A and B are shown apart, each in its own frame.
Chain A
């Protein structure tokens, strides 16, 4: 049974990682990255490595998204208009 869980989690990780690469918008990538982080944490738990799972969760579920989103806001605000135009995912290149 453990093997089944591990295989499903591995497939989810592979799917999420591929989706993260295929998406081009940073905000969308951040969301897929969060998903990837959670599935990785599940995989680590199934492999009975809860310490690693905790590290992954702690970093991946709030701190990394916050850093990515803050960076995106800063970078998108740059070309002008001062305001919070950052909030619209505008499909611009990285």
Chain B
């Protein structure tokens, strides 16, 4: 397809989208009104399932299937990154250099680390009660672990971060979501129906499957972000391109390369 044709295809598509979008916008309820038709129904559905945070109810109960899609997007994005950023055959790995960190910064980071972990876990655990949930809390938890990189260096982080465990955790989180969905099928309902007892409103054990799915997403996101950042850190800190030290430009793939005997890590 020539660029001219492509442009026309785009313009036609964009015009169609603009027309439909504008038409849809005119049918929206006014901005900022208190009784919103969808809002009223969502709040009613959330309260009938004893979920205090309506957003969590929408995400993990009413639209649990959509969230499965979103979770899978993150899951496959992380897998894609792992594949792209793996150690290529002509790259070699060097030990990262130890870093010296300003003592107050080191102390602050080390003191904040457990605290940030706790905040992350708190946000995950209270997903069905207060704002937050598996995704937000998961990212905070994963960030908290990387305070160790700030407090010391990459070697310190590597020592306490068994990457395999996080890779398993990511897959387990994704699997737990699907299994919870099928458990509802076994219980005689549709995929991802909320079949568990709803518990007491505004407590940690409320919301039925919303709570379980929230925890599954928390596990998946925490592990996924850790694995993702590990790949970036590997590339930036440990893995060196062929010829990086002697200043020659990077050549593509298996020529008369140096270090060809390096195998890729599994």
In the bound assembly, the distance between CA atoms of A73 and B239 in angstroms comes to 12
In the bound assembly, the distance between CA atoms of A59 and B140 in angstroms comes to 8
B132 touches A (CB below 8 Å): yes
Q: Which residues of B contact A59 (CB under 8 A)?
A: 139
Q: Which residues of A contact B228 (CB under 8 A)?
A: 67
Q: Which residues of B contact A55 (CB under 8 A)?
A: 135-136, 139
Known: A63-B143, A63-B229. A54 touches B136 (CB 8 A): yes
Instruction: Describe A's contact surface by its main secondary structure.
Output: helix
Stretch from B22-30, B164-172, B176-184, B241-249 that touches the partner: B241-249
Instruction: Describe B's contact surface by its main secondary structure.
Output: helix
Question: Quick check: A67 and B229 within 8 Å, CB to CB?
Answer: yes
B186 touches A (CB below 8 Å): no
**How would residues 202 to 232 of chain B score, 1 for a CB under 8 Å from any chain A CB and 0 otherwise?**
0000000000000000000000010011001
Known: A58-B136, A63-B225. A51 touches B55 (CB 8 A): yes
In the bound assembly, the distance between CA atoms of A55 and B53 in angstroms comes to 15
B148 touches A (CB below 8 Å): no
Known: A51-B136, A73-B236. A58 touches B143 (CB 8 A): yes
B6 touches A (CB below 8 Å): no
Q: Which of B123, B237, B244 has the most CB of A within 10 A?
A: B244
B159 touches A (CB below 8 Å): no
A62 touches B (CB below 8 Å): yes
Least Cβ–Cβ distance between A88 and chain B, in angstroms? 16
Question: Quick check: A70 and B235 within 8 Å, CB to CB?
Answer: yes
**How would residues 57 to 78 of chain A score, 1 for a CB under 8 Å from any chain B CB and 0 otherwise?**
1110011001100110110011
Count residues of chain A with CB under 8 A from any CB of chain B: 22
Question: Quick check: A78 and B250 within 8 Å, CB to CB?
Answer: yes
B142 touches A (CB below 8 Å): yes
Residue of A whose beta carbon sits closest to that of B248: A80
Known: A58-B139, A67-B232. A78 touches B131 (CB 8 A): no
A binding-site residues for B, Cβ under 8 Å = 50-51, 53-55, 57-59, 62-63, 66-67, 70-71, 73-74, 77-82
Q: A54-B132, A70-B237, A82-B245 are in contact. List 18 more A-B contacts (CB 8 A).
A: A51-B53, A51-B55, A51-B131, A54-B123, A55-B135, A55-B136, A55-B139, A58-B135, A63-B139, A66-B232, A67-B232, A70-B233, A70-B236, A74-B235, A78-B241, A78-B250, A80-B244, A80-B248
B binding-site residues for A, Cβ under 8 Å = 53, 55-56, 123, 131-133, 135-137, 139-140, 142-143, 146, 225, 228-229, 232-233, 235-237, 240-241, 244-250
A to B CB contacts below 8 Å, 8 in the list: A55-B139, A62-B143, A63-B139, A63-B229, A67-B232, A78-B250, A79-B247, A80-B244
